Amino acid sequence: MRSLVRFGLAVITVVAAGACGGAWCSAPLLAGSSNSLLDISADGRLIACSNRDNGTVSVIDRETRQVLRELPVGHKPEGVSFIGDTHQLAVAVYADDRLALLDADSGAELGSVPLFDEPYGVVSNRAGTRLWVTEEYPGEVAEIDVATRKVLRRLPAGAMCRGLALSESTNRLYVTEYLTSAVVAIDLEAGQVCDRWQGPASENLARQLVLHPTRGKAYVPHIRSRVTVHQGEGSVLPYVSVIDLPAGEEPRRKTLPMDSFVGAFVVANPWETAISPDGEQMVTVFAGTDDAFVSQVLDDNYRELSFRGVLRLGHNPRAVRFSPDGTECYVYNALDFDLWVYNTQNYERVAQIAVCKSPLTAEQLEGKRLFYTALEPMVGRRWISCSSCHPDGDPDGRTWHNPEGLRNTMTLFGMAYTHPIHWSADRDEVQDFEHTVRGPLMQGRGLLRGKVHESLGEPNSGRSEALDALAVYSNSHEFPLSPHAKTGLSEAARRGQALFLSAETKCAECHSGPFYTDSRPERPFRLHDVGTGRSDPGEKLGPKYDTPSLLGIYRSAPYLHHGQAATLTEVLTTANPKDEHGRTSQLSAAQIADLVEFLKSLPFEDPLPAAQAAGLKKIEK
């Protein structure tokens, strides 16, 4: 069971004297001081992991390695944390907009705290009296009183926040912006952002950060999305950024490239990282290449980490944690639904625990694994996967310089009802992504034998089980309702709706039906020139585009095929100077605001019953 390939340095156990400065020495951190999809109770007896696909949390006895119970919590649970030194758990139920509080010993649900939208990371203080939760959209931290289960404050924390860590000694929270990987510090006394560490504009997908127990550093796993080298080498690259937390001289943010950390051994999609309680070891899991780096944390501000070894893991590892005594390290393989246990002396795997059953059909599971992997037959050079740009079906917030022109990544939610695909309707089925797999972007062997048919020519569906499975997964994303319409449409949104439906603005002429699009899978496709196709000199397919669905656009900025409208207001004003995209120039500022309020409320009801009534067919694969 020796799974550590290339095991380098002996374990160094002495921290250089004087390494810890000021407040950082006084309060060692709990495992649960930083967010993760996995946590260990302070007494070291229980492990909890959230099973996103199952909607459950598994509780495992650390000594016997038995799953004690699997607790249903709702749709897409993400962050999980034990509360203080208790066996109570807080779980961020991402798609149900709530924090579930559970008793891990009895399995009872103790309470539920409704949140605004998309809770992701959760941490507790040591006393177990307070919880903090990142709400990804729009980018806030909710502070919760454990005793009363009330939200005490909502703290603005940037845009689209996921990662979260608490430093009790400095009374600060550290938060990562998901789509920029910027780190934001919130002073808990003042309840305000007091510091910010921004990286280059290409930095992306920072889901988590961990604090070093003594060094005044935070470590952030993330990628870079280099949109201008779409067809070249390394358009998505893996990093760990090291943040110097005390105020001081620039630069306070250093980015360590994980693809050149070990010579030419390339990894993809860093998801989480963990630091051992003594601050000496770090393990970072790579969800695209199914492996992890074990490194030694160095007490120098130049190299920061040295390489110890590689762990070969199961499918799509998303979480990693150390036990409170530092003797074991746990890795959660999301698409094997299991937990691997390593002993940290020599990184031998000592146990493999099945934490829940796969809720997916064999076909869905195969498609999902293909979507998340950066390995063959999907990818030749280990540095990208479909999920690098479409994480969990969401857009990556980027506009790529594609051969056909600038192309903003679109959401995959609801796509099963809005074929054809791509802004220019240049593909009619997901199986056409065999061109992407074999092309310069991914350079994979591919999923079907023989020639790939032209995208709009004879079908590529039905020719390969694997390719059909990829289509099944891609078509499986369903729209969540807009958080802006939880209690129905507001007054402003109703006024906006009337404008939207009016003959004056013409919006509903093209944005029609339950998905707010006139797009249809039958030929001829209906494409429209709405005056947006002239500003990009590199455009090869415009000026007509497939009408996009408007469901879920509250969270998918930037807008339009070229991403040149930063906000919905810009779509209706600066990006529509000649009234070619509906008629908007006659609207007052207040009317534009009403219209935007309506757009942000979509979907305010489940579109599927109306789709069924209208006879719209769901494309399964």
Give me the residues that bind ligand HEC (CB under 6 A), please. 230, 235, 384, 386, 388-390, 400, 402, 404, 407, 409-410, 412, 415, 418, 421-424, 430, 433, 436-437, 441, 470, 474, 500, 505-507, 509-511, 528, 530, 532, 545, 547-548, 550, 553, 556, 559-561, 568, 571-572, 581-582, 584, 595, 599
Phi-psi domain of 290 (left: phi exceeds 0; alpha: psi -120 through 50; beta: other): left
| C-alpha span between 509 and 382 (Å, rounded) | 45
167 closest CA partner among 153, 185, 150:
185
> Torsion over CA of 296, 298, 302 and 308, rounded to 10 degrees?
-20
Least distance from ligand HEC to the Cβ atom of residue 44, Å: 40
| C-alpha span between 66 and 317 (Å, rounded) | 20
Least distance from ligand HEC to the Cβ atom of residue 401, Å: 9
Least distance from ligand HEC to the Cβ atom of residue 314, Å: 21
Residue 141 CA from chain centroid, whole number: 17
503 CB contacts (<8 Å, ≥6 apart)? none
Least distance from ligand HEC to the Cβ atom of residue 427, Å: 7
| C-alpha span between 518 and 509 (Å, rounded) | 8
Cβ proximity to ligand HEC: between 245 and 412 the closer is 412
Identity at 587, one-letter amino acid code: L
Identity at 589, one-letter amino acid code: A
| C-alpha span between 562 and 426 (Å, rounded) | 16
**Residue 37 in contact with residue 49, Cβ under 8 Å?**
yes
* Burial class (CB within 10 angstroms; exposed 0-12, middle 13-18, buried 19+) of 65: middle
Identity at 270, one-letter amino acid code: P
Cβ proximity to ligand HEC: between 308 and 390 the closer is 390
Cβ proximity to ligand HEC: between 206 and 415 the closer is 415
Cβ proximity to ligand HEC: between 337 and 433 the closer is 433
Least distance from ligand HEC to the Cβ atom of residue 391, Å: 11
> Torsion over CA of 358, 238, 159 and 35, rounded to 10 degrees?
50
387 closest CA partner among 315, 284, 490, 448:
315
User: How many residues are recorded in the chain?
Assistant: 621
**Residue 461 in contact with residue 427, Cβ under 8 Å?**
no
> Torsion over CA of 104, 109, 110 and 114, rounded to 10 degrees?
120
Least distance from ligand HEC to the Cβ atom of residue 414, Å: 8
| C-alpha span between 8 and 6 (Å, rounded) | 6
Query: ∠ at Cα 364 (359, 369), nearest 5°?
Result: 100
What does R_g of the chain's alpha carbons equal in angstroms? 24
Least distance from ligand HEC to the Cβ atom of residue 551, Å: 10
Cβ proximity to ligand HEC: between 42 and 557 the closer is 557
Least distance from ligand HEC to the Cβ atom of residue 178, Å: 16
First to last CA, the chain: 39
| C-alpha span between 294 and 307 (Å, rounded) | 7
**Residue 46 in contact with residue 39, Cβ under 8 Å?**
no
| C-alpha span between 128 and 146 (Å, rounded) | 7
Least distance from ligand HEC to the Cβ atom of residue 519, Å: 9
Cβ proximity to ligand HEC: between 54 and 409 the closer is 409
| C-alpha span between 420 and 519 (Å, rounded) | 7
* CB-based contacts of 360-368 (< 8 A; 24+ apart in sequence): 360/53, 363/465, 363/468, 363/469, 363/472, 364/469, 364/472, 364/473, 364/476, 365/335, 366/465, 366/466, 366/469, 367/468, 367/469, 367/470, 367/471, 367/472, 367/473, 367/474, 368/335, 368/473
